[in-house]
Chain A
Amino acid sequence: MTTLPRRRFLAAAALLGAGVLEACNGHGPGRTIGAALPPPTTSTTTTLADIPPGPAADVLILQTASSIEHFASGVYTRLEGSQLITSPGVLDAVRFFADHHSAHGSLFGGATTRSGGVSYTLANATLSGPVEDRLQAMRTEADAVALAYGIEAVAAATYAFTAGQLSDPSLVGLMAGIGAVEGRHLAMLGTYLAGLSPAAGSATPPYPAAGFLGVAGAILPGVGL
């Protein structure tokens, strides 16, 4: 079971937002790598601050994760059909990642049901709005890959942050394990965009320069549902 100090911290984190975790992880300010999407708003009907730690909060976290996966899966499908991606290796990766996100959505949906909630099957609304303009403005393969990179960065940051907010320890591994794979997607896309050894300050590196994934771009639970 989760210890009391952790639960107390989580309640505070829910009230204060992602910055709390960043400040407490001992690694300074946020270092989310290349999150190109606009920062999310917190204007939603239900957030984690409205719910005490426990199964209901876990459900909200899982539903938010599902919404990100459905969003990502949909965008990848659009990218695949955009005709902009012509390099065979990139096209293979896009298809591969689309399948992953679809599977991740199913995994989060199943976990939501097992936690007593209703599986969330829609794309995250907060992320979907701004990305439409990006999709319309894409002109090159690099544009498409950069968009995918931004989505993976948000997903990886969100799961790294919210894994620590889950009350059910058995869900922590699921969230962290899927987040780790989004990190691998980032590495692959970052390699296409910036190379294996990116220049200092690159906006789309395959790995964070300092060696730790940043969580500053995380979507807070409940946002966009």
Chain B
Amino acid sequence: MASGTTTSTVPTDTVLAAFVQGVELAAVALYAQAAVVVASPAAVSVMATFSAHHREHALAFAELAGAEALKGPLPGVLEALQPSSLLVSERDGLTFLFDVESRLASTHQYLVGRFTTVPAVALACTTLPVEGQHAVVLGTLLSMPLGSMLPTVQGVDGYLSPEQFVSP
């Protein structure tokens, strides 16, 4: 679970959207980081596609954020999502990205109920399932058991909160 100080003000949808943009840009950077240990054609192809998806997600949330949009990934998020140990094999890389996608899905799930405008809810609802689909495909590459890839309901384990990473 995310922890940290909370602010007394409720973030607006534009602030939340900018946060998601920063998270998505962090994901793009993390895919590039993991790419150095991934060589099999199937994994390389999937990673290129998913990285492009995250770039598109970032663009869409930046559009929603308007003037609040960020210039790059949130440094705190990038640090929080770093692998816990050095990536030395393709399996390490894919496992790391599976965890990243799982935390992104949790973050979208956490935020979807906090958005208050229809465009924001609609965008979150069409982005969230795709993060989960990324996790399933990466989990399939890792031959993970069904239960590890397919929760009964999307949860919020490991979510990232704007209060933790964005200054008020």
**Is B29 part of the binding interface, using a Cβ–Cβ cutoff of 8 Å?**
no
Smallest beta-carbon distance B69→chain A, Å: 14
A1 to B108, CA, bound (A): 19
Q: How far is the CB of B25 from chain A (nearest CB, A)?
A: 14
Evaluate contact between A9 and B118: CB separation under 8 angstroms.
yes
Known pairs A6-B116, A164-B125; A212 contacts B130 (CB<8 A): yes
Contact A6 B117 (CB under 8 A): yes
Q: Which chain A residues lie closer than 8 Å to B105 at the CB level?
A: 180
The reply to whether A180 and B154 form a contact with Cβ atoms under 8 Å apart is: yes
Determine if B133 and A25 form an interchain contact, defined as CB atoms under 8 angstroms apart.
no
Quick one: which of B106-158 are within 8 Å of A by CB?
Answer: 108-109, 112-113, 116-119, 121-137, 140-141, 146-147, 149-155
The stretch of B50-58, B73-81, B85-93, B160-168 in contact with A is B50-58
Interface residues on A, range: 35 or more
Known: A6-B117, A170-B113, A177-B155. A184 touches B123 (CB 8 A): no
Please, how many angstroms separate the alpha-carbon atoms of A129 and B87 in the complex? 52
Q: How many A-B residue pairs have CB under 8 A?
A: 163
Q: What is the distance, in angstroms, from B102's C-beta to the closest C-beta of chain A? A: 11
With A and B bound together, what is the CA distance between A212 and B53 in angstroms?
8
Residues of chain A touching chain B, judged by Cβ–Cβ distance below 8 Å, are 2-3, 5-6, 9-10, 13, 21, 24-27, 92-93, 96, 100, 103-104, 107, 156, 159-161, 163-164, 169-170, 172-174, 176-188, 191, 196-197, 206-208, 210-215
Query: Which one of B57, B149, B153 has the greatest number of beta carbons of chain A within 10 Å?
Result: B153
Is the C-beta of B84 less than 8 angstroms from some C-beta in chain A? Answer: no
Q: Which residue of B lies closest to A12 (CB)?
A: B118
Contact B151 A181 (CB under 8 A): yes
Interface hub of A93, A164, A172 (most chain B Cβ within 10 A): A164
Indicate the member of B130, B131, B141 with the most A CB atoms within 10 Å: B130
The yes or no answer to B63 lying at the interface (CB within 8 A) is yes
CB distance from B113 to the nearest CB of A (A): 4
Q: Which residue of B lies closest to A211 (CB)?
A: B53
